[in-house]
Structure formats: C-alpha cells, structure tokens
Structure 1
C-alpha cells in the first residue's frame, strides 16, 4: 500500500509540474499531436483490442469494432476537426453599462484530472473522457476497471507506448487504488459507474472541492403506444438488449406497452428474434456473456424473485450458468416490489408492463429517480410531445433506443440520480475546461466612474435610476 501511495503521489506531482510549466501555455498543436498518436495506435492494434475484450466477456469482434473502436476513433476525429473552434474565446457583449470595455470568455484547461472508468465498455468508456481531457489541454490519471483485466492491461500498454507519464498514466488494481487516487486534489474528476459508487466518489471530491462529471445509470423506460410501429420497435429494442448483453447504461429496463397492442408486440418480438438471431445465440459470435459470476448471480436472483412472485416469461428466459449467459428475455406481470422494477438490470432482461392511460405512465415515472435515458415509440406527435414534456431524463430518443449516445453533437449525461455533467464532443471538452471571464477596461474616464462616491450628487442619483430602469 505504501508503494501505491508513493506512486500516486509521484505521478500526481509530475503531472502537476508538467501542466503548470509546459502544457497550460502550449499551443493546440501539442494536444492535436497526442490525439493523432493515440488514433494511430488504436488503428494499428484493432485486433488486440478485440481479443482483449473478448477474453474479458466474450464480446463479439464485430460488436467491439462498432461499439468500442469506432466511437473512440470518431471521438478523436471529431475533436481534431473542432478543437480550434472549441478552444477559441467567446466574446461577450456588455451593453451601455460597460461602455468602452471589451469582454470575453477564455477557455483554459482545468489541470490534472482523474478518470475512473467502468467495465461494461472497457475501452471506449476509458478513452472517450480521456480524449476530451487531452483536447481541453489536461493531463490524465486513468483508473480502468479491475473486472475487465485483459482490457485494462492493454490500456496500460497503450499509455506506455503513446504517452509520457506526465501526460497520461494508467493505474491498475481494485477499489483500493481508486481510494488512494481520490485522496489527491485533482482539478476535475470523471467517473462512470453506479449511483451508489458515484456518491462515494462525489463525497471524496468534495473534500478538495473538485468539480465532477458523474455518468451513472438508472431504470430507463420505453413507452410503446397504440400507434407504434411494432415490427420496427421490436427489432430496435431486441437489438439493443442483445448488444453487449445489455450491459449498457442506456439500455431499456421496462417497456410500457399500450394494452391494445401488447399481444401483437410479443409476436413481433418473437419474429424479431428469428430475424436477428437466425442461428440462435452463439456466445462470442452473436452475444457477449455477463462480465463475472457475481453479476450473473445477481441478475439470476432478480429473475427468480420475479418468477416466484407470479411473473411470466414471454420471450427467452434461457440461462447458461457455466458460461454466465442469459438470452434476451421479456417478462410480464412483474410485481412492483420486485428488484427487476426497482434496480438497473444491466442484462438482456426487460420488463413489459401494459398500460391504458399515458398520463398515468408519465405520472408514475415522475415518482421514480430520473433515468439516464427515456424512449417513446409512437407515430402520434401529440403523444411524443406529451411524453417528452412530461418526463425527466438525461437523454431521450423517439422511435429508437441507445443510438442517441453516439451522436457527437449532442450532450450525453444524466440528471439527478443518473448523473451530473455532460460528455461527448464540445460538451465533454467544456467539462475539462475552466471558462474564465476576462474584461478589459480603458484607462482614464469610464462609465463606472460616474457612480463613484460621493453619492449625494443629484445627477448621480438620476444616473442610477436610469441604469435600474433601462440598462
């Protein structure tokens, strides 16, 4: 433990010195060079990335390419294309009260930052915030998850081959490593994980008044009203529940389906299953497995509890204990007190609840913690508008699920229980940026001097009244 403490302190001091004396005032070309090196490394090690993630939880190579490598490379490309604009100062108008002044918002990097990343997308969710931090001009100390050791080892190798320790360093290990890192007074902290751990991270950050970005999760609902294109909706939902075995923070947890189309939706889901998985589910080729025994056992217990209390399986329900695998599963008649309806599932299991009144669904959702994502499948603009205006969520999507995450020009993040702050593109860049106000005043006479003491002059009182009324 003493060796870890010394290593953390040494790297933190090294990055702090490098940032203050070199990086803070370095031109944008320095940041761009780092991102280009990172992109080159990723493209040269594509197969290694796929192999590492497959070794951790049998994620299909195709899925890794579209959900880990592609978004990471795209994030670098997007930053390189837009960094000049993001980093440029924004000029601010002042009005007559600030006559003769000029004002602007200077974009300056925050400094030494900590990124604690999760296991579910172990490559992409480690590097996307790091990319935003590098683009903003920060140094990075990165702690990937111990639950995906092969990917974490590869991230460490990447860091050593692409960056200097003062630029980006990867720390491997369990929660005790995170605890040691959180003792330092970072300039910003980016955490992706559960709300429970997010509270611990935020409490540690509060000791140093460190700003935070918390990307958490939640019970993401999807409404399918009586006008929904059921074939289309079934394919999209089933695809998202199969992707990464639904170990995805924006995955649908509960479908609220209008009672008039419930049976038709179930039929559409069965047809979608045959279309998307015509040869069945081959682990490592069509679907990943759950990340470890602990997570598999938790999900299995949630399903068992619901079945014991009268729930019905409408689709799937297959489990392979030896390989930690669960088929895409739809369950109905799940009692409200069951964990499946109160805890983020993080597995290819979804609850189906029939409804008759959309207003009641919205009212019920308002009583729950704010989810990271909420979805509606509907042809009715009226129902879409009512749903989007009535609920709260970090992100929303109409007639699809999950894909809003990858839109680079949209902010991604939660609200309340599902997170604090935003990621991706310009929004991620600004999380690692201090937007510093800068005002320049002329010498000699200024409009502000009109209200200097003494205050007993009638013309000054008139000026103040004019300011209050008109400026």
Structure 2
C-alpha cells in the first residue's frame, strides 16, 4: 500500500461506490445512448487525438487513426449493434433431474471497476476496455500511463463531456497513484501491461477477492517455412513488427526461419527496408519513436548484449538518442544465453533463429513462457496443425500479423504469463459481467421429492437409478 494518501482519489472512489447501484440499474437503451455519445465526442476530437499521439510518439496520422481510433470506433459500433442481444437473459436446457424447471443465465454488472491502461496504445487501450465496462453497467476509474501525457489530456476531455465523475473518471498520476488505487476494494480490475506488474495487480486484487483480467505480453514467435513467397512474408513481418515502432504487445518478437532461407531473408529484408523507408529510415514520416529514454536504453542494451556475445547484425544497430530513434535492426547467429532471447523486446529489433525441423520449432517455443500470439507463414497445413496442437499461446494467426485482435467474434487474451481472461466484443462484455445462474424448480418434479429425508430403501433405488442413467 502506498504510504502517501490522495484525497482526490478517495473522493472519486467514494462517489462511484455510492453510485454503483444506480449505474447497475441503467437500461440497455441508456447505455447505448452513452456509447453513441462517446462515439460522437471521439469523432469531434479526431484531430486532437491524432495531434496528441504525434506529440507522445511521433505517430503518423494514418497509423494513429488505423491503430488507435479505428479499433475504438469499431468496438463502440459493435456494442451498439449487439448489446441488447448480449445482455439478454439466456435460457439453458435441463436434464431429466430438472424436468419442468426453468434455468437461465442473467448478466449482472460486476460493480466498481478499475481499468489500468498502458502507454503503448494510450488512446485505444484506455477506451476499448471502458466500452465493455460501461456497456455491462459498471462504474470505472481509468488510470492511464503517465508516459503519454498529451493523449491523457484528450482522453480526460472526452470522458468529461460524456460521463459524470461518479460514473467514469480518469485519474492522472504515476506509480504512487496506481499503488494507492490498487489498495482500494474494487469489484473488478482490468490491467494491460507487463507480466511483472501483472503479478502485483493480481496480488492486489486477491486481497479483496476482486476478479482480475490481465492483458500482458510475451515473446511472440513468427515462423517461416519457405512455402510462401519470401517477399510477401518479409513485407508482412516488417509491417507487423514496425507498427508503433515495435511497441506492441502482439508484435512478432522473434523469427523462427528454416535454415536454408536465412541468406535470402536477409537480402530481401534489406531490399524491402530501403524500398519502403529509404536509405535513412529516420527521415521516414511513417516510423514512430520510442516512448522515452528508459525504454530506448533498454532496447539498445539488449542489442549490444547480443552483439557482444557474438551475434551478427546485417542491418540496423544505429541510434539517435536525442530523437529517441532506433533504426530497425536485424540480428542473426544469436548466442543461446543472449538477453534478447528471454526479455520481451518492445522495439524495432528482429532476432532471427534458424531451425531444421518442426520439432525444433515447438521445443524452442515450449521451453519459454507462453506467448500472447504465435504467427505462422506457411502453405503447409500439416505443419500449421502440428504447431497449433503442440504449442500454447494466447492466439495463432496464419499468414498475417496483428489482425486477429480486430476480428469481431474472436476473444483477445493470453494464457498464464501472457495473460488471464478475455477481452473485446462479446467476450469483453462477459468479462465485465457476472454470469448469474437462475434456476426456478418445478415443485411437482423437484428432485428433493424423491431424495429428501427420511432416507429409505426407495430413496436408495432412486439414487441407484440416477447413478446408472443420469
């Protein structure tokens, strides 16, 4: 628990605790109206959001709109269209024991929620989970990362125009404020960030037996077997890695490539980089920057550690500290003990690992923590199926990168070290809801009519029949 106290946080917290029942009683129509209002305010603030993301990351307009605004607007529209159906009570079938009974699942709000969002997609990840939270009928305190101050200001302005503070409130601050919030009793905590901090969040939730959703990270592999055109593979791999300059939780973290393809991949990689970004990628308006010096130094240290250990660098390894610029970097022949093979990179660095057979692939992946995503570039369905069924990951995407997070009917989340719980779409609504079973038993056929006290030989016969047939 933080030693420092924050009266403002206490005030907002108590306002939302007192208001939670009123928010839980809001109708689906009222929640949809709030979502429409949120959509409208986001559209009105479109230019301000793009400008803020450029200040925080030097993100291009296209990248800001396609990776930050579009996913949020898409999620809002998905909820507006489907919330009535998702929130409706669902009848379930009975077996013979409950003949004549009525059984259903009722979705109720969890209550007071805390959403802790990260810096790498500061607009998208703060809002997309808030959409599910308020659609489910909860209150929310949103604690964004302090590393994206310009975006946070725009977020705060939008929230203030859509919600009362006793419903939704953004809280500024750093580690102390986050720690203080985690000392409070929430009904649900949604955290996006690193596994290290995820463990702290989970421990904080356990103190109050709060449910917790963790969207973490991990070293997501990208497998290349050579059955697809190498130029296409290189193009897609570079796009998936360099979106947000590699600062994406589902970015491919390292390449697993068939050994005989190594030299062809290297030459194709260099050709594509020069064709796409020019001889000096720093001059390209399409590449974002590293968020701050701490992460800049961490990434540079990982690369230097690998090279000092004997790795080769056919492209990259150039830095402009004053610009937070790291040239996209390709590493080969990496020593087994290099730090970059164990720590999530979160930057524009491509470590390449070669393999000879499919068993080497699965062993390399399974010897590490379970990744958030796993990418396979192949036409070989047998290889694809083998990897899917012999590895564990939050998701598998074949012949593309990143796009699975945009699918409206697929859940997003990790497994163990890469995350707990599911988000987005219907899965996000259910994550912020309690699925409450309601059973209304038909008294003429109630099971207790046959197995209630006093126990007799007839009771035993009924139990025997149940054991045998039901």
TM-score normalised per structure 1: 0.97
**CA contact under 8 A between 2:100 and 2:445: conserved in structure 1?**
no
Aligned to 1:199: 199
Q: Distance in 1 between matches of 2:309 and 2:300?
A: 14
Hey, what's the Cα distance between the residues in 2 that align with 1:443 and 1:464?
19
Aligned equivalent of 1:121: 121
User: Where does 1:267-282 land on structure 2 (aligned, <5 Å)?
Assistant: 267-278=267-278, 280-282=280-282
Structure-1 separation of matches of 2:284 and 2:46: 17
SS in 2 for 1:141: strand
**Residues 3-402 of structure 1 mapped to structure 2, 5 A cutoff:** 5-20=6-21, 22-278=22-278, 280-282=280-282, 285-402=285-402
Report which stretch shifted further, 189-198 or 356-365: 356-365
Moved over 3 A (4+): 1-4, 442-445
Q: How far apart, CA to CA, are the structure 2 residues paired with 1:4 and 1:147? A: 22
Per-residue deviation, 1:404: 1.1
Over residues 217-254 of structure 1, what are the superposed CA-to-partner deviations in whole Å (9 max), with x where a residue is unaligned? 00111111132321111000111122100100011111
Change (3 A) 1:283 1:109: farther
The answer (yes or no) to whether the contact 2:4–2:176 under 8 Å persists in 1 is: no
Bigger mean CA offset, 162-171 vs 320-329: 320-329
> Corresponding residue for 1:470?
469
Secondary structure of residue in 2 paired with 1:181: helix
Distance 1:284 1:37 in 2: 36
More off after superposition, 435-444 vs 196-205:
435-444
Aligned equivalents of 2:357 and 2:94: distance in 1? 50
Deviations 1:142-182 (A, max 9, x none): 00000111111221122112210011000001011111111
User: More deviation in 250-259 or 442-451?
Assistant: 442-451
Partner Cα distance (1:231, 1:91) in 2? 51
Q: What's the secondary structure of 2:368's corresponding residue?
A: coil
Shift of 1:331: 0.5
Are the aligned partners of 2:103 and 2:438 in contact in 1 as well (CA < 8 Å)? yes
How far apart are 1:133 and its partner, in Å?
0.3
Whole-angstrom distance in 2 between the partners of 1:279 and 1:355: 31
8 Å CA contact retained: 1:59, 1:284: no
Distance 2:459 2:43 in 1: 67
Give the length in aligned residue pairs. 469
CA distance in 2, matches of 1:302, 1:310: 13
How far the C-alpha of 1:183 sits from its partner, in A, is 1.2
Q: Is the deviation greater in 232-241 or in 7-16?
A: 7-16
Deviation at 1:341, TM superposition (A): 0.6
For residues 53-80 of structure 1, the C-alpha deviation after alignment (integer angstroms, 9 at most, x for no partner) is 1111211111000000000110100111
Q: CA deviation at 1:122?
A: 0.4
Deviations along 1:360-384, one digit per CA (max 9) or x if unpaired, are 2201211110010111111111111
Q: SS of the counterpart of 1:184? A: coil
The whole-number CA distance in structure 1 between the counterparts of 2:41 and 2:279 is: 35
Relative to structure 2, which stretch is displaced further, 373-382 or 309-318? 309-318
1: CA distance between counterparts of 2:277 and 2:364?
34
Unaligned runs of 5+ in 1: none
Deviation at 1:429, TM superposition (A): 0.7
CA–CA distance in structure 2, aligned partners of residues 2 and 387 of structure 1? 48
How far residue 309 of structure 1 moved from its aligned partner, in angstroms, is 1.3
Q: Which runs of 5+ in 2 are unaligned?
A: none
Q: Aligned partners of 1:136 and 1:278: how far apart in 2?
A: 48
Q: Secondary structure at the match of 1:204?
A: helix
Tell me if the contact between 1:283 and 1:289 (Cα under 8 Å) persists in the aligned partners.
Answer: no
Aligned 8 A contact 1:241 1:328 in 2: no
**SS of match in other structure, 1:310:** coil
Choose 113-122 or 435-444, whichever is displaced more. 435-444
Separation in structure 2 between the aligned mates of residue 133 and residue 340 of structure 1, nearest angstrom:
36
How far apart, CA to CA, are the structure 2 residues paired with 1:297 and 1:447? 67
Greater mean alpha carbon deviation, residues 403-412 or residues 199-208: 403-412
Once residues 117 and 158 of structure 1 are traced to their aligned partners in structure 2, the CA distance between those partners, rounded to angstroms, is 16
- Aligned-partner Cα distance in 2 for 1:256–1:399: 14
CA RMSD of aligned residues (A): 1.6
Could you tell which deviates more after superposition, 161-170 or 272-281? Answer: 272-281
Show the counterpart of 1:433: 433
